[in-house]
Amino acid sequence: MKDNLLVRFSRILPDKLYLSLKFYKEFGRFPNWKNPQTYNEKLQWLKLYDRKPEYTMMVDKYAVKDYVAGIIGREYVIPTIGVWDTPEDIEWDKLPNQFVLKTTHGGGNEGVIICRNKSAFDKKNAVDRLNESLRTDLYKVWREWPYKNVPKRVIAEKYIEVQEGIKDLADYKFFCFDGKVKALFVATERQNPNEEVKFDFFDEDYNHLPFRQGHDHAKVMPPMPKNYKLMKRLAEQLAKGMPHIRVDMYDLGNQVLFGEITFFHFSGMVPFEPEQWDRTFGEWLKLPTSI
């Protein structure tokens, strides 16, 4: 079944059948629901069976900030400038010269718009893009249950800059299993319009791992960030008591900031190359025995 046809009939397909068909499209086989072994299979299992109400708040880009501040401290949270129900409600005059707009219900870079100079900023284009993002539904497309009931809003955040001498605002994404970091990946080149984003995976001691997933490696391996140990410790604090989450953070050189919490890395729908790493990550993920 083609992907657009799957999405078209997604409202009438139960979650398990929809995910089975979606998984088959990406991997050429159905997930093993009774005894999942790979990381991607286990993420599909968690979508169906691990549905705690607090997960909705944890993926809400606005609501999660108070949650994170309560665990690791407000100093690690990017300040919110404003929040609105629709892009048309944005109070442009109250925004500083530089800011970031985000939709609260999206994952990754979905619905993220960066303004570096308000006098040259295309407000109409921003409103159009934000409205397009607000029409997307991660639950409908990927059956990621935590997103199903997130209020769809727009927030403005403080524009963050790296310390002088650091060229790229890299994303550090920590894979936490039972509250412990086992691996991470670093996303670079996101601010370069002439390059596709690059992903490099590392173990918990920042040794480069020999696999790809979704994107090529950077031409120059990203060095260990200055505040790596601090980011790792903060990620583990946020992951305590959960079977698996991915915690995204930024290292500005003189400051560490929280990015977001992700329950389903790439929605469990992107193959590892080579495939053996799907099983390695799967071994790290211990599914709950009672939910």
Res 110: pLDDT: 73
- The whole-chain average pLDDT of the chain stands at 93
pLDDT band at 17 (very low <50, low <70, confident <90, very high): very high
Q: Any residues with CB less than 8 A from the CB of 105 and at least 6 apart, and which?
A: 59, 60, 61, 111, 134, 138, 147, 150, 151, 152, 153
pLDDT at residue 168 greater than cutoff 80: no
Percent of all residues in the chain with a pLDDT value above 90, rounded to a whole number: 83
For residues 111 and 129, the answer to whether their CB atoms sit within 8 Å is: yes
Q: Where are the chain's structural domains?
A: 53-76+163-291, 79-159
For 268, the 3-state DSSP assignment is: helix
pLDDT at residue 265 greater than cutoff 90: yes
pLDDT digits (tens, 9 = 90+) for 45-74: 999 999 999 999 999 999 999 999 999 999
DSSP line for 62-109:
TTHHHHHHHHH-GGGSPPEEEEESSGGG--GGGS-SSEEEEETT--TT
Where does the chain show beta strands of DSSP type E?
Answer: 80-84, 99-103, 112-115, 154-158, 171-177, 180-188, 198-203, 244-251, 256-262
Q: Which residues of 15-44 are buried (b: 16+ CB within 10 A; e: fewer)?
A: eeebbbbbbeeebeeebeeeebebbbbbbb
Topology adopted by domain 53-76+163-291: D-amino Acid Aminotransferase; Chain A, domain 1 (3.30.470)
- In this prediction the pTM is 0.94
- Neighbour order of strands in the sheet with 256-262: 198-203, 180-188, 171-177, 244-251, 256-262
At residue 213's C-alpha, the angle toward residues 208 and 214, to 5°, is: 135
pLDDT digits (tens, 9 = 90+) for 82-106: 999 999 999 999 999 999 999 999 7
Which two structure tokens, joined as six digits, stand for 90?
């944005």
pLDDT digits (tens, 9 = 90+) for 117-138: 999 999 999 999 999 999 988 8
Which two structure tokens, joined as six digits, stand for 172?
């550090």
Nearest to 261 by CA among 271, 274, 248: 248
Give the CA radius of gyration of the chain.
19
Strands 244-251 and 99-103: unpaired
Instruction: Give the whole-angstrom CA distance, residue 152 versus residue 131.
Output: 10
